[in-house]
Structure 1
Amino acid sequence: MSRIQRSAATQHPLLDRVLASDGSLPFALLRRHGGAEVEVLVGDVVDAGLLRDIPLDGAPVLAVVPFRQARERGFTVHDDGAPLRCIVVRESERVPLPDAVAALPSEPVAAEPLGFDIPDDEYAGIVRRVIDDEIGQGAGANFVVMRRFEARTDAAPVPTLTSWFRALLTHEVGSYWTFAVHAPAPAGSTETLSLAGATPERHLTVQDGVVRMNPISGTYRHPATGPTRDGVLEFLRDTKENEELFMVVDEEMKMMSVLCPDGGRIVGPYLKQMARLSHTEYLLEGRTTLDPREALRLTMFAPTVTGSPMENACRVIARHETRPRGYYSGVLALFEPYDARGNSDEHTPSGPANYSLDAPILIRTAYLHDGGHVTVPAGATLVRHSVPEHEVAETRAKAAGVLVSLGLVPRGAGPDAVVDLNAQPGVAEALTARNSQLAEFWVRPQDAAHAGPAGPSATLLEPAETSALTGRNVLVVDHEDQFTTMLAHQLRHLGMNARVVRWDAVGDVLADDLVVLGPGPGDPRDHEDPRIAAITRRIHERVSARRPLLAVCLSHQVLAGLAGFPIRALRAPRQGVRLDADVFGTTAAVGYYNTFGAQLSTIAAAAADNPVARLALEPSVDTDGVLTALRGPGVASVQGHLESVLSADGLTVLDALTRHVLGAPTGASPAR
């Protein structure tokens, strides 16, 4: 017998109860993945303090997770006290979509539009500052800054939400979830939580041990006359839009490398067409044994709504957004026990292992606050190529999909017919062409069948070729950029035992066979920065003890500076750029994420007690005179991110540099 009560299949009494309620009944209405039914969920409201407190005791639970929960990862946020609110489902019903649309109120709710809280010119100024002061100073590759459209209404919550829900079902297409959620405040809380939206983006699903993430980035704003083949092909060829998507894929692959011991795989790309916008997307998949609540905690929150690297992106958001985010960029998280998905109870395990998770991102969503205040947040992804006026237009376009459906801005005439963009000649080929830039390592399946003596191992090389590396212990030091998780995964594929430790938690730096000092945001010349000081200290320790050392990106720059090479800001940041780099005479396709570079110039005089200067490191240089790599006895460094999905030759270079610093025999080149 099921753990939750279900209504009769031939009627819709639960939906009728929702529509007749006075606002005291907690409910959710969901249409998932373009399905043919609307799910009606009713239950009890519980507020949880942490994700691990979400009560997975046998019933389905729908959790509305605010942005402030990023504090659970130690990230900086404006804390508005928004509750982690859960509806513990006690009753459910599935209603055919036509029946639901017929039953829901068709009259639009009267509302007074007030406009954006941040005017266009002020938002454009924020965009300029982020590009100049953050991306231009090495803070990261991309950042998302939010503003809100605001309105007022005197309508009651239930007719407002259900009217909004019907309008979104009717007028929006391509949504991952269309939803309305009403969760009155439980005892001890104050404000009712009411929201409705049509989000395009899955953040995380976990089902039967399979994890999927769905990074979406790049936006084609449809003209008023409708989307066209020429328009979408121009969008698919646009460098800025391509790089924007690859950057968020890299960031979510970092998360996949944390969740999935056997690695993650990239599938796609795809074009997601909605009513007023189209986006490009990839699907990432792998396997995990984690409690789904812990999987969600480790992935808070998507780079498509925050930026990268994630930890510093939250700091940048806090600097440039003066108001807390509330639930914008958080997630809806539906936890379902196996029996709730139609399976037998008889052999179902108990506890969190019995639960699946389906968690879309809270974007394209309208919030009805107490007192009739309505907000519709929207943000744009800011990268080095961003044009402020274009990013202003993007926030308007993203908000418009919700605002038009809700009647808060005029619908306009619109096109007589909508073109199916995926069916247009050349679109499939343009999408497929994007994969020519990706590393095969992250595209092909990776699973437990590849495991070796140190975990997932080097199936890319013959056993005899990997024996010199197999079993070596590697400490990878994380300087607030989880690219280190991908680096560690690649090192394991080369046969080594790699673990990642945050920079401020490292103990003995001399014990491991190899130390890899990882990348991170910031200015490598700022020795007042505790991370830069720690990198410097650990380089000196390893070099003085003649212990093998590999330094990547930020750490490479610090090493180069210690060797006497001048460090300067580049003419244009290389954030999310793939280049053909010369690495000691071999041309390699490598992804770059750097604002600063070590320059080939007259080496500055070094202090006599500087052990790095005594190494006389050999430089490898690109055509602009920027150092791509350094090497010397037991030491190597590289500017590019060998672990990036853009680094088609990354594993080959990593293998060669690792063998160099360890004094291991040269092996065959791994597959790209």
Structure 2
Amino acid sequence: MDTVPLPSHARHPLPGPPAEHPQRTRRPLLVELIAAAAAGGPCPPFALLRRDDDDHLDVLTGDVVDVDVLGDIPLHKAPVLAVVPYRQIIERGFVAHDDGAPLRCLVATRREKVRHEDALAQLPAHAPRTTFHGPDTSDEEYAEHVRRVIDEEIGRGEGANFVIGRRFEATLHDEPVSALLAWMRALLTGESGAYWTFATYLPAPDVAGTSTGQAARDVAAPGESTEPVMLVGATPERHLTLKNGHAVMNPISGTYRHGADGPTRDGLLDFLVDPKETDELFMVVDEELKLMSSLCPTGGRMAGPFLKRMSRLTHTEYLLDGRSSLDPREALRRTMFAPTVTGSPMENACRVIARHESRPRGYYSGVLALFEPEGDGWSLDAPILIRTARIQPGGRVGVTAGATLVRHSDPVSEAAETRAKAAGILTALGLQDAPDRPTASAGHDGTGSTRVAERAAVLTVGNDGVPDPQIDAALQRRNRSLAPFWMREQAPQTVPGLVGGSVLVVDNEDGFTQMLAHQLRHLGMTVRVRPCADVDDVLSDDLVVFGPGPGDPRRPSRRIRRLRALMVERIRSRRPMLAVCLSHQVLGMLAGHEVAPLIQPRQGVQLAVDVFGVPARVGFYNTFGVLAGRSIDPRRCEVSLEESCDANGTVIAFRGPGVASVQAHLESVLSPDGERMLRGLVEHALTTSPAAVASTPVA
């Protein structure tokens, strides 16, 4: 394999190519790495990867380079493995505690495949000596933290769900690279159902081309990281793959914690009908469809739900796919990071994480990203960095796990969920005992994992290979309430009066606008999405859609003030407009209505409503609502509107000449009637505006 020259934007030059020896005298790469680690001297950088239960391990070594941004990852001729920390989300303009964790790349100069059973025979089988310290917060402290997030964030309209982590800590007393290799073997034998099982040792790059830490410390510029990136993990979740123009994402959410004897059929069925677990999955599917809609011009299509079984847990998941021609680095930048490890809406979720997590995340919730040459371009396979241990100087070992907090989360249960998520890797690595696990004799590998995995398989598929009918039916029932739009091919329609119309969608920090834009394009319209702060013209387009966003519309934040000013300008122009969720609430205030918190937040809730005499099932993501009836002098109102209310006196929709609005998210997977309602509201706005009425010929 060719050595890749260093791109001009990288921080340090790559080391020159290693001295070549005849292939027949070269030992297998994995054997070389194990021997170097056992000798205690300098070890070359490496990555060991087992992908999606492959029969082989990928073993890579090569040159290490740090880059500042994803667009600088050097894609030339050789495969590249990039380790992307959570702090990289600042590339999207989002908030993060910045710990300086490097975006480190391994540019492969040598790559070999090793059969799984051969790797197990070669990797060290000893148990590294460790001291386990436990979580950085007690269960009681974490539960109280959950209560605060529900009350202070979800309860104040900041979003639908948030992922807050806690770190489990240990000290390693042995040589770290040897421990890394031993732990890789432990995960290969002790965990099941992983999307990737991996170990990386990536020392800091340096001008001498050495792989020792001392040379890097001697030449590093101020502020540059000199720590090696040492990670080992078994992650269940794909973030993004791109291959031959085909994009796939894999939202996983909802967690069934196995008991001491493994999963049971009744326990699994109870999990599948649990409203909290079901809603949690639907919310992250919505959030990832936002990302897919930004990647794929024809949108994303969902398939599932499926079960994802691991040694201690079973999750539910969907697969989302679409077509994309983006450079894989740009595709990865647009999708940093998965809502299953951040929350919704994502930009504000990052602010919430920064408020409620006191320390930086490091690599937790970032990604590994393997770029490989593919024809004239590159493929990408990027799993999420969860269920992962990081080794740092001084033998510090950390495993971070988080829970997805929603409006009806039980704080005690969420604390238990973080323990269960961390337990799989902690026990496989020998960092903590597992009193609730089957005994070692239960499995052929001494871990007990085989019996648990086989029992989980029997629960869903019988001996004849036929899925368990009750479990299969419970999974399929989930789709009955979802929007068929996102489960089928989305060929554009030709809607008279809409084709070719220009639409500006004003984004208020919620990617639901990407899904709205896709549905409007599906109706035949030409759509562009712009952040509210960047919009300076709301008069040129045939239709302006003012989108949803987080926050309290009554608080005069800079974003709310700007949104209000743009809406007033459009209203006064008497040109067609549509307002959604947050913008619907602002419109209600402009029409003289009071906005107040709901008794219970409707974050991720599907309701049956009547909108101007038409029944519909649609999804809601709101903490505040517009109250029926006016509370201020009508002479101060910017617009007079007809209202459609629910039984509680909350305004679900407005309409007037050239104006329509709705509290619900018609673009959500929770809105099976959303596509029809959206078309009706758009047609109303376009056909009843004063300009349209004036141009209609008189019979």
Same fold (TM over 0.5): yes
- Equivalenced residue count is 633
Equivalent residue number for residue 364 of structure 1: 387
Deviation, 1:129, is 0.5
What is the TM-score when the length of structure 2 is the normalising length? 0.88
1:38-57 correspondence runs (5 A): 38-57=57-76
Equivalent residue number for residue 256 of structure 2: 220
- C-alpha separation between the residues in 2 aligned to 1:256 and 1:11? 45
Aligned: 1:653 with 2:677: yes
Note the alpha carbon deviations across 1:88-124, whole angstroms, 9 max, x for none. Answer: 0110111110100111111111100011112222111
What amino acid is aligned across from residue 640 of structure 1 in structure 2? Answer: A
Aligned: 1:552 with 2:580: yes
Deviation, 1:6, is 13
Equivalent residue number for residue 454 of structure 1: none
Deviation, 1:337, is 0.7
529, 534, 550: which one aligns with 1:505: 534
Deviation, 1:300, is 0.2
Equivalent residue number for residue 591 of structure 1: 619
Aligned: 1:409 with 2:416: no
Moved more, 624-633 or 306-315: 624-633
Note the alpha carbon deviations across 1:577-606, whole angstroms, 9 max, x for none. Answer: 111111111111111100011112x41223
What amino acid is aligned across from residue 365 of structure 2 in structure 1? Answer: S
398, 422, 427: which one aligns with 2:421: 398
Equivalent residue number for residue 482 of structure 1: 511
294, 298, 302: which one aligns with 1:262: 298
Structure 2 residue matching 1:592: 3-state secondary structure: strand
Structure 1 residue matching 2:489: 3-state secondary structure: coil
Equivalent residue number for residue 659 of structure 2: 635
User: Contact 1:7–1:13 (CA<8 Å) still a contact in 2?
Assistant: no
- C-alpha separation between the residues in 2 aligned to 1:380 and 1:422? 25
- C-alpha separation between the residues in 1 aligned to 2:279 and 2:152? 20
- C-alpha separation between the residues in 2 aligned to 1:519 and 1:10? 64
194, 208, 218: which one aligns with 2:244: 208
Deviation, 1:24, is 3.0
Deviation, 1:8, is 7.1
User: Contact 1:23–1:157 (CA<8 Å) still a contact in 2?
Assistant: no
Moved more, 13-22 or 423-432: 423-432
16, 31, 34: which one aligns with 1:19: 34
- C-alpha separation between the residues in 2 aligned to 1:6 and 1:221? 52
Structure 2 residue matching 1:525: 3-state secondary structure: coil
Structure 2 residue matching 1:52: 3-state secondary structure: helix
Aligned: 1:543 with 2:587: no
- C-alpha separation between the residues in 2 aligned to 1:606 and 1:535? 22
563, 576, 590: which one aligns with 2:604: 576
- C-alpha separation between the residues in 2 aligned to 1:97 and 1:410? 27
1:297-312 correspondence runs (5 A): 297-312=333-348
Moved more, 221-230 or 403-412: 403-412
Note the alpha carbon deviations across 1:534-589, whole angstroms, 9 max, x for none. Answer: 22212211111101110000000111122122211111111111111111111111
Structure 2 gaps of 5+ residues are 5-19, 207-219, 443-450, 462-467, 693-699
What amino acid is aligned across from residue 58 of structure 2 in structure 1? Answer: E
Equivalent residue number for residue 444 of structure 1: 488
The structure-2 alpha-carbon separation of the partners of 1:23 and 1:241, relative to structure 1 and needing over 3 Å to count, comes to farther
User: Contact 2:201–2:231 (CA<8 Å) still a contact in 1?
Assistant: yes
User: Contact 2:657–2:688 (CA<8 Å) still a contact in 1?
Assistant: no
Structure 1 residue matching 2:684: 3-state secondary structure: helix
- C-alpha separation between the residues in 2 aligned to 1:556 and 1:289? 35
Aligned: 1:67 with 2:86: yes
Note the alpha carbon deviations across 1:237-281, whole angstroms, 9 max, x for none. Answer: 000000000000000000000000011100111000000001000
The structure-2 alpha-carbon separation of the partners of 1:10 and 1:490, relative to structure 1 and needing over 3 Å to count, comes to farther
What is the CA RMSD across the aligned residues, in angstroms? 1.9
User: Contact 1:331–1:359 (CA<8 Å) still a contact in 2?
Assistant: yes
- C-alpha separation between the residues in 2 aligned to 1:10 and 1:172? 35
- C-alpha separation between the residues in 2 aligned to 1:609 and 1:142? 37
User: Contact 2:2–2:77 (CA<8 Å) still a contact in 1?
Assistant: no
Taking only the aligned residue pairs, the percentage that are identical comes to 60
Equivalent residue number for residue 422 of structure 1: 460
1:342-357 correspondence runs (5 A): 348-349=375-376, 354-357=377-380
What amino acid is aligned across from residue 314 of structure 2 in structure 1? Answer: S
- C-alpha separation between the residues in 2 aligned to 1:565 and 1:233? 45
Structure 2 residue matching 1:122: 3-state secondary structure: helix
- C-alpha separation between the residues in 2 aligned to 1:255 and 1:77? 20
User: Contact 1:9–1:94 (CA<8 Å) still a contact in 2?
Assistant: no
Equivalent residue number for residue 321 of structure 1: 357
Note the alpha carbon deviations across 1:126-163, whole angstroms, 9 max, x for none. Answer: 11100000000000000001111111112112211111
Aligned: 1:604 with 2:631: yes
What amino acid is aligned across from residue 647 of structure 2 in structure 1? Answer: T
Deviation, 1:425, is 4.1
User: Contact 1:270–1:280 (CA<8 Å) still a contact in 2?
Assistant: yes
Deviation, 1:444, is 0.3
658, 663, 670: which one aligns with 2:687: 663
User: Contact 2:130–2:170 (CA<8 Å) still a contact in 1?
Assistant: yes
User: Contact 2:592–2:636 (CA<8 Å) still a contact in 1?
Assistant: no
- C-alpha separation between the residues in 1 aligned to 2:131 and 2:638? 69
Equivalent residue number for residue 522 of structure 2: 493
Structure 2 residue matching 1:569: 3-state secondary structure: strand
- C-alpha separation between the residues in 2 aligned to 1:603 and 1:158? 69
Equivalent residue number for residue 695 of structure 2: none
Equivalent residue number for residue 135 of structure 1: 154
What is the TM-score when the length of structure 1 is the normalising length? 0.92
Structure 1 residue matching 2:50: 3-state secondary structure: strand
Aligned: 1:117 with 2:132: no
Aligned: 1:95 with 2:124: no
What amino acid is aligned across from residue 585 of structure 1 in structure 2? Answer: G
Note the alpha carbon deviations across 1:288-316, whole angstroms, 9 max, x for none. Answer: 11000000000000000000000000000
Deviation, 1:664, is 7.2
Structure 1 gaps of 5+ residues are 339-347, 451-456, 667-672
202, 206, 211: which one aligns with 1:183: 202
Note the alpha carbon deviations across 1:200-251, whole angstroms, 9 max, x for none. Answer: 0000000110000000000000011210000011000000000000000000
Deviation, 1:3, is 7.7
- C-alpha separation between the residues in 1 aligned to 2:51 and 2:195? 6
1:525-540 correspondence runs (5 A): 525-526=554-555, 528-540=556-568
- C-alpha separation between the residues in 2 aligned to 1:241 and 1:11? 52
Aligned: 1:85 with 2:121: no
- C-alpha separation between the residues in 2 aligned to 1:164 and 1:574? 44
User: Contact 1:213–1:252 (CA<8 Å) still a contact in 2?
Assistant: yes
Structure 1 residue matching 2:632: 3-state secondary structure: coil
The structure-2 alpha-carbon separation of the partners of 1:583 and 1:607, relative to structure 1 and needing over 3 Å to count, comes to closer
- C-alpha separation between the residues in 2 aligned to 1:31 and 1:437? 37
User: Contact 2:84–2:104 (CA<8 Å) still a contact in 1?
Assistant: yes
